[in-house]
A = this chain, B = another copy of it.
Amino acid sequence: MKVLILGVDGYVGWPLALRLLSRGHEVFGADNFFTRKRVKEVSSDSVLPIRSFGERNRRLEESTGKWIDFYHGDVSDPEFIYDLLGDTEPDAIVHLAEQRSAPYSMLGLKQASETMQKNIISTMNLIYGVHDMVPDCHILKLGTMGEYGTPNLDIPEGFFEVEYNGRKDYLPFPRNAGSWYHWTKVHDSNNLMFANKVWGTRITDVMQGVVYGTRTTDITDPHKFSRFDIDEVWGTALNRFCAQAIAGLPITPYGKGGQSRGFLSLEDSITCLTLGLEKPPAKGEYRVFNQFDQHYSVNDLAEKVKEVYEKKFGKKATIKHVPNPRVEKEEHYYNPESRKLRGLGYSPKGDLQKDLVKIMQDVNDHRDRVMALKDVIMPRTVWGKSTGLPH
C-alpha cells in the first residue's frame, strides 16, 4: 500500500512511518517542521534528542535499507497538497499535520486564530485534493477524545441513537471540547463528515486518547527515537510527570486531579493506526473510532509515576496539586466506549507499570536535558487569559 503521512516528523508520524515501512508499505511523508519551530518559541526542546529529518531518514536507510519519500511543505497551502497528491498517488493518507497543543491555542488571539486557520484549512485542502486527484483514497484523520468533553453519559463512537419527544434518529454525538485546539478537531470532524456526505470520500476519523511513551517495537535504538516533549505547552500529562520525577521536581496534577481521560501507549497508537490503514473503510464510508486503551484520572497517573519512580530509583517523589490553569471539570463521570478497533483485532499491548519503567529509563538517560528544561514544565498558560491584539 502507498501511504502518505502528513506530519511525518512528529511524535506519532515518525514511529508510524517506521511501522509501515517494516510492514512492507511504501511510505511518503510531508512536514513543515511547525512543531519544532513552535517548541523552540517556548524555549523548550524534545528531551530525547532528535536529528534533522534528513539526517533521521538517512540513518534509517543505512540501518534498514528503507526510507521515507519526503516532501517539505505546508498542508495549509493548497498548491502544495495538490502537487503532493499528484506526485505520490497514495492509497491512504494519514493527516497528522495540525497544530496539536491545547495550551498553545489558548495563549491569545494570534495563536487561537492560527490554530483555527492552519487546522481547518489543511483539512479542507485535503478534502478537495483527494476528491480532485485521488478520489478512491482513504483519509485517516487524527482527532481527539477531547472532542467529546466530559458528558455525564457513556461516550459512543461518533454516533448514537437519539430519542427526543418520542421520536428517534441516529445522529452525531454532541461534541463539547475544552480548548480552541480541541474545537478545531471538532470542526474538522464535521467538515469530514460533510465531505463524505457530498462525495462519499472514505474516511476514518480517529478520536485518540492521550499517547504516552518513548518506545515501539520498531524503536530499537536511540537514532530511531521520536520526539518527546515535557514542557507545559507541548508535553502531555504522563510524559511531563515522568520528567518531573526524574528532575526531582514535584509531580503536579492540575487542580483536584479527578479529570479522567483515555490513554494509550505509543506502541498501541501505532498499532491502531496501522490497523485502520490495513482495514480501510468501505467506499462511501465515514467511520469514527474511539482509540484508547484505558482511562485514568490525572491523580491515578501521578500516583503510578511516583510509585514506579520510587521503586526504580530508590528516591522519594512528591505529588503537589497546583491551581488548574484550564477550565474543566475536576471530578466527573467518564466512560467512553471503544469497541470498533477491538472488533478489527486490536488487542492492547500497553502495560502502564512496565511502560513507565521504560519511559523513565530513557528520560533518565537524558537527565541533563530534562534539567535544562526545568523552567518550562510548570503551567503558565492560563485558559481565559488574553494577551490583547496580536502583534
Please give the residue numbers on chain A whose beta carbons come within 8 Å of chain B beta carbons, in ascending order: 78-79, 82, 108-109, 112-113, 116-117, 120-121, 124-125, 128, 131-132, 151-154, 156, 160, 162-165, 167-169, 171-178, 180, 183, 186-187, 190-191, 194, 197-199, 327, 333, 383-384, 386, 388-390
Kindly list chain B residues whose C-beta atoms are within 8 Å of the C-beta of A198.
327, 383-384
Kindly list chain B residues whose C-beta atoms are within 8 Å of the C-beta of A194.
177-178, 180, 183
The reply to whether B389 and A78 contact each other, CB–CB distance below 8 Å, is yes
The reply to whether B168 and A153 contact each other, CB–CB distance below 8 Å, is yes
Partner of A163, one of B109, B132, B163: B163
Kindly list chain B residues whose C-beta atoms are within 8 Å of the C-beta of A174.
162, 171-174
How distant is the Cα of A165 from the Cα of B108 in the complex, in angstroms?
39
The reply to whether B156 and A78 contact each other, CB–CB distance below 8 Å, is no
Kindly list chain B residues whose C-beta atoms are within 8 Å of the C-beta of A124.
109, 112-113, 116
Identical copies of this chain, number = 2
How distant is the Cα of A361 from the Cα of B153 in the complex, in angstroms?
55
Kindly list chain B residues whose C-beta atoms are within 8 Å of the C-beta of A109.
78, 124-125, 128
CB distance from A83 to the nearest CB of B (A): 9
How distant is the Cα of A128 from the Cα of B108 in the complex, in angstroms?
8
Partner of A164, one of B156, B190, B199: B156
The reply to whether B132 and A121 contact each other, CB–CB distance below 8 Å, is no
Kindly list chain B residues whose C-beta atoms are within 8 Å of the C-beta of A197.
327
How distant is the Cα of A383 from the Cα of B116 in the complex, in angstroms?
24
CB distance from A331 to the nearest CB of B (A): 15
The reply to whether B153 and A386 contact each other, CB–CB distance below 8 Å, is no
**Residue among A167, A172, A175, A194 with the highest chain B CB neighbour number at 10 A:** A194
CB distance from A180 to the nearest CB of B (A): 7
Please name the residue on chain B nearest to A154 by beta carbon. Answer: B165
Partner of A117, one of B108, B117, B173, B175: B117
- 25 A–B contacts from the bound complex (CB under 8 Å): A78-B109, A78-B113, A78-B389, A79-B389, A82-B388, A109-B125, A113-B125, A116-B120, A117-B117, A131-B386, A132-B388, A132-B389, A151-B171, A152-B168, A153-B169, A153-B171, A172-B174, A175-B190, A177-B190, A177-B194, A178-B194, A180-B194, A183-B190, A186-B190, A199-B384
CB distance from A46 to the nearest CB of B (A): 30
How distant is the Cα of A103 from the Cα of B8 in the complex, in angstroms?
36
Please name the residue on chain B nearest to A188 by beta carbon. Answer: B187
Please name the residue on chain B nearest to A199 by beta carbon. Answer: B384
Please name the residue on chain B nearest to A179 by beta carbon. Answer: B194
Kindly list chain B residues whose C-beta atoms are within 8 Å of the C-beta of A191.
180, 183
Kindly list chain B residues whose C-beta atoms are within 8 Å of the C-beta of A171.
151, 153, 174, 176
Closest 8 CB pairs of A and B: A109-B128, A152-B169, A171-B174, A198-B384, A187-B187, A153-B164, A154-B165, A172-B174
